[in-house]
Copies of this chain bind each other. A is one copy, B any other.
């Protein structure tokens, strides 16, 4: 593999000149430039970005840590990050934490050793020591899908509490009183926890007694949704509606409910969370809380690159989320809702 030194020798110039034709072609006389370029093709020269990073102390690489790429909402946000980074000629190294804090810790360590210029993290543990140390060392990073309010941390996210509230409110407006929740494990994600808080608060505001039997925590999987709803449907007084803290759980719940002999949506109204790309193609089409995952990824990338570039101050950005009503929710059996 030839280097600028080889090129320089072949062209009869110094390495500095070769470097100049690469980085600021205008600063070198046309005649010389042509000589150099010719030499470059002659020895099939390939630029070494790593060596550059070594001296400029910039790798032009950022790290992106997500729970798992197989959840499509994170695939969407990843796409947003990538597209923005791409357009700024920044590479992105992807790592999955699998919702495990130890894995997240390790990824951060490894990525920093690789001299990434910054980090975008969908964290599993907002209170973790590792995030504190990033702050202490003024290492640029932004949290994604996580809204911390105030403090020295950049973040982009939505109001998960409000999302949970909206979902529940919708169900109540349809006349539902027995509303259960299938939630992602609180220990894995505080987003799910906040959605549950919104759910609980809404019930309370509408004078519905919170029944802790109506909450099931599970892992974010299709089968988790299916098994959870089946369990809930065996309760002495079974629910007529369910709020699932993501769309996979909702899709699983649809299957579970059908397997339990229910008709959808008549016998069970279902609300999801995320609005994944296939949500409107489900049967029945899924009512859900939309999260602009792609845009969030883009914003996070923009914020991070600004922090790296201009050493700008931490910013928390709250994106809009909204209820998308489709076919999976309907009036409660027996009791009439606002529509009845």
Contacts and interface: CB of A to CB of B under 8 A. Distances in A.
Interface of A: 44, 46-51, 53-54, 59, 61, 68-70, 72, 75-76, 78-79, 82-83, 86, 89, 91-96, 110-115, 137, 222, 248, 251-252, 254-255, 258, 277-278, 281-283
A114 B93 CA distance: 12
A278 B283 CA distance: 13
A298 to B, nearest CB: 14
B68 A113 contact: no
Contact of A110 (B53, B79, B91, B255): B91
23 contacts: A47-B113, A48-B113, A49-B114, A49-B115, A50-B53, A50-B54, A50-B114, A50-B115, A69-B69, A69-B79, A70-B75, A70-B76, A72-B72, A72-B75, A82-B95, A91-B93, A91-B114, A92-B93, A92-B94, A93-B93, A94-B94, A222-B277, A251-B278
A115 B115 CA distance: 14
Given A49-B113, A50-B114, A251 B281 contact: yes
Nearest to A252: B281
Given A49-B114, A114-B50, A82 B59 contact: no
A222 B285 CA distance: 14
A70 B283 CA distance: 21
A281 B222 contact: yes
Contact of A46 (B83, B112, B252, B277): B112
Contacts of A91: 93, 95, 110-111, 114
A49 B96 CA distance: 20
A251 B280 CA distance: 11
Given A72-B70, A75-B70, A113-B48, A82 B94 contact: yes
Given A50-B59, A86-B95, A278-B278, 6 more contacts: A51-B54, A69-B75, A70-B72, A70-B79, A91-B111, A282-B283
Nearest to A47: B113
Copies in the complex: 2
Nearest to A247: B278
A68 B78 CA distance: 10
A56 B199 CA distance: 55
Given A94-B94, A255-B281, A78 B69 contact: yes
Contact of A48 (B46, B115, B222): B115
Contacts of A54: 50-51, 54
A137 B46 CA distance: 12
Contacts of A89: 110
A82 B70 contact: no
Given A69-B75, A76-B70, A93 B61 contact: yes
Contacts of A254: 281, 283
A166 to B, nearest CB: 25
A50 B70 CA distance: 29
